[in-house]
Amino acid sequence: MSADAFVHPDEIRSMFSGAMSDMYRAEVPQYGTLMELVSDINQERLAADPVLRNRLVRSDDLDRIDLERHGAIRLGKPEELFNMRRLFAVMGMHPVGYYDLSVAGVPVHSTAFRPIDDDALRRNPFRVFTSLLRLELIEDAQLRTEAEAILAKREIFTPDALKLIYLAEKNGGLDRVQAEQFVAEALETFRWHSDATVSLETYQKLHDAHRLIADVVCFKGPHINHLTPRTLDIDAVQRAMPERGISPKAIVEGPPSRKCPILLRQTSFKALEEQVYFVGSNPKGTAGTHTARFGEIEQRGIALTAEGRKLYDTLLASVRHAVQVSAGGSNARDYETELAERFAAFPDDYETLRVEKLAFFRYSVTDAGRDAAGKVDRDVSVDELVDQGYLHADPIIYEDFLPVSAAGIFQSNLGSDEQKNYAEQSNQDVFEKCLGASVADELALYAAHQQASIDQAFETLGIRKNVA
């Protein structure tokens, strides 16, 4: 079959993320309300801030904002992660980054499946934060064996999904009919199932070991547990949530509100209590409940360099050390004040972030630069070209996640302050063996984007510096 007959992976991803969103809207009504709120606030924000609007237009970011969302799933065994990587690859999503959540008391390690290259991100940046349960962190050996045996029996992919993944790998793509079938089959894996695979008693035992273990082990598949839209003003959404009947968690995770947003800020609302039927003597099962799915929103800012990230981590750790937010959020104000005060040490204008190499930028040639093309001094530096008005520097958006925020989101949805301290260390090697591939290094990806934009701009200016 010729490559032309294949549906582009970016298009399959858009079909899939659209189908996922429709499914989630039907299953979790508050998701629809949240999507409307986010869209209203994005419109207001864009109307009020032409500079932001222009920047988003220049980086082709404006069109993707309404499509943009991420989801999260939790897997139980290595083969599931292995096949999940193959499934996401059909849609042009690849594992980026390694996150060890055991340090935050959550017995999983994770990666994010997402598009990698610039064009693909621009078309649809759909991402899925994917965690693998670390059964070795269950202390009770008998319970561990029981959990393993339960998981060994399940198959989370439909036979047709596996067949289509195989065909896509073998032929190098899927045609239209296959792609549509693939999306429908793949969706089955992420659907909520109210029939548990275990008895209420087993559920409770696993739940007592860790709520998250029960969430992963007791169900037929890795139900998508949230779908997060991207807002341009998370503080406004957080404030407006109660007016629409949604109650957010006490604090926004991540950096404070700033003129130049960095990395990622997130907030969520609590999981719903869902009706579950456990295996029991009654043919319909024993009725019970489980909290699985929640809502989240996020605001994305500029990607930081290793140096910028170090500064961010140090400042955030000092805030968390100084103020610990209780589950009820009674001291959320203290936390916010402390956060704002300590982050005053993080430069809050793009120019300083750029010249101090704390963040990544995408360079493009200005109109003045185009006029000067061919007449620019060959030895000029990027900084000088910006100063001379020949180059624009626009923020490269952070496309990844933050483990401390992720842990905060996990914990807020585990109900309480549930905190466990796992002695076991992070283990990227084991994770990559289960995955069957290595994860990409996100910092290297941002650096490559920045460099590619410089190379391109230099070429337009007629100074082909980096060409051998």
Q: From the CB of 409, what's the least distance to Ni ion, in Å? A: 6
Pick 10 or 296: Cβ nearer Ni ion? 296
Q: What are phi and psi of 100, to 5 degrees?
A: -100, 105
Closest among 33, 48, 411, 27 to 242, alpha carbons compared: 33
Q: Return the ∠ at Cα 169 (arms to 165 and 174), rounded to 5°.
A: 70
Alpha-carbon span 230 to 271, nearest angstrom: 19
Which of the stretches 151-159, 187-195, 288-296, 443-451 binds Ni ion when contact is defined by CB under 5 A? 288-296
Pick 87 or 264: Cβ nearer ligand OOG? 264
Q: From the CB of 225, what's the least distance to ligand OOG, in Å? A: 5
Pairing state between β 108-114 and 127-133: antiparallel
- Contact yes or no for 342/312 (Cβ under 8 A): no
Pick 6 or 401: Cβ nearer ligand OOG? 401
Q: From the CB of 148, what's the least distance to Ni ion, in Å? A: 27
| Residue 401, binding choice from ligand OOG, Ni ion, none, Cβ under 5 to 8 Å by partner class | ligand OOG
| Residue 131, binding choice from Ni ion, ligand OOG, none, Cβ under 5 to 8 Å by partner class | ligand OOG
Pick 346 or 401: Cβ nearer ligand OOG? 401
Alpha-carbon span 307 to 293, nearest angstrom: 36
Output the CA–CA distances (angstroms, integers) from residue 278 to 192, 209, 274, 289, in the order listed.
Answer: 14, 18, 12, 9
| Residue 98, binding choice from Ni ion, ligand OOG, none, Cβ under 5 to 8 Å by partner class | none
Cβ atoms within 10 Å, residue 280: 15
Q: From the CB of 408, what's the least distance to ligand OOG, in Å? A: 8
- Contact yes or no for 400/442 (Cβ under 8 A): yes
Q: From the CB of 125, what's the least distance to Ni ion, in Å? A: 14
Pick 30 or 286: Cβ nearer ligand OOG? 30
Pick 17 or 228: Cβ nearer Ni ion? 228
DSSP code per residue over 184-219? HHHHHHHS--SEEEEEHHHHHHHHHH-HHHHHHHSS
End-to-end CA distance of the chain: 38
| Residue 405, binding choice from ligand OOG, Ni ion, none, Cβ under 5 to 8 Å by partner class | ligand OOG
| Residue 35, binding choice from Ni ion, ligand OOG, none, Cβ under 5 to 8 Å by partner class | none
| Residue 6, binding choice from Ni ion, ligand OOG, none, Cβ under 5 to 8 Å by partner class | none
| Residue 74, binding choice from ligand OOG, Ni ion, none, Cβ under 5 to 8 Å by partner class | ligand OOG
Q: From the CB of 406, what's the least distance to ligand OOG, in Å? A: 3
Pick 228 or 453: Cβ nearer Ni ion? 228
| Residue 157, binding choice from Ni ion, ligand OOG, none, Cβ under 5 to 8 Å by partner class | none
- Contact yes or no for 24/187 (Cβ under 8 A): no
Binding mask 295-314 for Ni ion (x = CB under 5 A): -x------------------
Alpha-carbon span 297 to 287, nearest angstrom: 31
CB-based burial label for 257 (10 Å; 0-12, 13-18, 19+): middle
Alpha-carbon span 243 to 37, nearest angstrom: 10
Q: From the CB of 294, what's the least distance to Ni ion, in Å? A: 9
Q: What are phi and psi of 138, to 5 degrees?
A: -80, 125
| Residue 124, binding choice from Ni ion, ligand OOG, none, Cβ under 5 to 8 Å by partner class | none
Q: From the CB of 129, what's the least distance to Ni ion, in Å? A: 6
Q: From the CB of 349, what's the least distance to ligand OOG, in Å? A: 27
Cα 220 versus chain centre, distance = 23
- Binding residues (CB under 6 A) for ligand OOG: these are 72, 74, 129, 131, 225, 266, 296, 401, 405-406, 409-410
Pick 254 or 369: Cβ nearer Ni ion? 254
Q: From the CB of 248, what's the least distance to ligand OOG, in Å? A: 14
Q: Which residues pair with 57 in a beta bridge?
A: none
Site for Ni ion in 210-249 (CB under 5 A): 228
Pick 129 or 390: Cβ nearer Ni ion? 129
- Contact yes or no for 246/33 (Cβ under 8 A): yes
Token look-up 């051998």 returns: 468
Both structure tokens of 172: 């190098």
Pick 296 or 336: Cβ nearer ligand OOG? 296
Number of residues that bind Ni ion (CB under 5 A): 2
Q: What are phi and psi of 210, to 5 degrees?
A: -175, 130
Which of the stretches 105-113, 290-298, 299-307, 412-420 binds Ni ion when contact is defined by CB under 5 A? 290-298
Pick 128 or 179: Cβ nearer ligand OOG? 128
| Residue 202, binding choice from ligand OOG, Ni ion, none, Cβ under 5 to 8 Å by partner class | none
Both structure tokens of 163: 């067949």
CB-based burial label for 125 (10 Å; 0-12, 13-18, 19+): buried
Q: From the CB of 108, what's the least distance to ligand OOG, in Å? A: 8
Positions touching Ni ion (CB under 5 A) are 228, 296
